[in-house]
Amino acid sequence: MIPVTAEYALRAVVFLIQNQDEFHAASAMSERIRVPASYLVKVLQQLTRAGIVRSQRGPGGGYTLVKSADQITIHDVFEAVDSVPDRIKSCPLGLKGHTELCVLHRMVDNALLQMEIAFRTTSLRQLLDTADEMVPLCDL
């Protein structure tokens, strides 16, 4: 349901939230969050361009958060890695006579809207605070 890139980005950001105030090498993060290192580097570059993560080269360098967990939404992370689900605006079958969405596609689009609203309004702090005893994001 959630694209792999988005899940990896969430894992990386959650790891950085849980390990704030220092820089973390991509290779060390890769092992901890079980994401292939080469893939993680690309995800971290996207998160850096989006202003969520900051990178620093050299000894003691790596990646750290720019924003607090309160300031980052699930949608922000998905948007940073181009994984925001597209809403359905026209007939997915491309039928010319279909000027409105059929009942099924209207229902799917409404579900996508509800998901978008939830992701836009839920900060990662809220996500982590509601995790209770369950470890968030697949055993981080």
pTM: 0.82
The rounded distance, in Å, linking the Cα atoms of 98 and 129 is 45
Q: Among 17-21, 34-38, 135-139, where is mean pLDDT lowest?
A: 135-139
Is the predicted pLDDT of residue 18 greater than 80, yes or no? yes
pLDDT of residue 82: 86
Are 54 and 48 a contacting pair, CB within 8 Å?
yes
What tokens does 106 get?
A: 């209207």
Q: Tens digits of per-residue pLDDT, 91-117?
A: 777 677 777 778 888 888 899 999 999
pLDDT, average across residues 110-127: 92
What tokens does 86 get?
A: 């597209």
Smallest CA-to-CA distance from 83 within 91, 70, 74 is with: 74
Task: Tell me the sheet residues that pair with 62.
Answer: 56
The rounded distance, in Å, linking the Cα atoms of 55 and 44 is 8
CATH number of 4-139: 1.10.10.10
DSSP string, 7-28: HHHHHHHHHHHHT-SS-B-HHH
Q: Tens digits of per-residue pLDDT, 24-67?
A: 999 999 999 999 999 999 999 999 999 999 999 988 889 999 99
Domain ranges of the chain: 4-139
Is the predicted pLDDT of residue 135 greater than 60, yes or no? no
Q: Is 110 helix (H, G, I), strand (E, B) or coil?
A: helix
The rounded distance, in Å, linking the Cα atoms of 38 and 35 is 9
